[in-house]
Amino acid sequence: MRLRECLGHPVLDTSTATTIARIDGLVVDPAQRRIAAIRLRGAGRKPIYLLWEDLDAFGPDAVTVASAEVLRRLENGALPYPELESIGRRVLTEAGDELGTVEDLEFDPSSGAVEAVFTQSDQIDGKRILGLGAYALVVAKPEHAPVLPTDRPPG
């Protein structure tokens, strides 16, 4: 599933069959290299979030939740990582070279794992993500991609 593809998709409360919000953006946890939360457009000025573990399914056309109560109105700093927009973020390698800016992300809709980062010139394996900060998304050199205990074995 691509980030750009799912922007604007509805979040469906399956108990009432109603749309309770729409996807405004995705929050990446760089340490786990996965989508940690969905930022939603709804009523009011403070952003509302849906944590990945609180959703039922991330389908091709809508995200489903069992009830509207799982949506959270989180204060700044409530997430343990910066809530930074990925799209447009400068991409920098650990060697100090820029690879353009993030144009899109590919993620696994069942696990939330970020599978690829797309820039103007490159497609970068999600396993290479080292950090996400205000200045840049930092990626490892291809041969240095750190392996997490949660990574599936290849094949």
Partner 1 sequence: MTLLVRARELIGRPVVTLGGTDVAEVKDVLYRVSIGRMIGFSLNARGFLGGPLGTGLRWSEVHGLGRDAVMVSGEEAFRPLSELLDGTDPGDRDVLGDRVFTDRGVELGVVTDVVFAVESQAKVVGYEIGDLKVRGPSPGRKAFIPAPDTVSVSGEALVVPNAATDYLRDDLAGLGAAVEEFRARLRDNS
Q: Which of residues 121-140 bind partner 1 (CB under 8 A)?
A: 130-138
Q: Using the rule CB under 8 A, is 102 a contact of partner 1?
A: no
Instruction: Please count the residues of this chain forming the interface with partner 1, following the rule CB under 8 A.
Output: 17
Q: How distant, in Å, are the alpha carbons of 21, 35, 76 from that of 57? A: 15, 13, 26
Q: Which two tokens stand for residue 91?
A: 């991409």
Q: Is 80 a residue that touches partner 1 (CB under 8 A)?
A: no
Nearer to partner 1, 4 or 144 (CB): 144
> Minimum distance between the CB of residue 152 and partner 1, rounded to whole angstroms?
24
Rounded to whole angstroms, the Cα distance separating 30 from 107 reads 13
For 72, the token pair is 């959270």
For partner 1, the binding residues in 21-50 under the rule CB under 8 A are 30
Out of 80, 88, 96, 149, point to the residue binding partner 1 (CB under 8 A).
Answer: 96
98 in contact with partner 1 (CB under 8 A): yes
How many CA within 13 A on the CB side of residue 1?
21
CA-to-CA distance for 28 and 49, rounded, in angstroms? 13
The residue (of 48 and 114) whose beta carbon lies closer to partner 1 is 114
DSSP state, 17?
T
Residue ranges in contact with partner 1 by CB under 8 A: 30, 92-98, 130-138
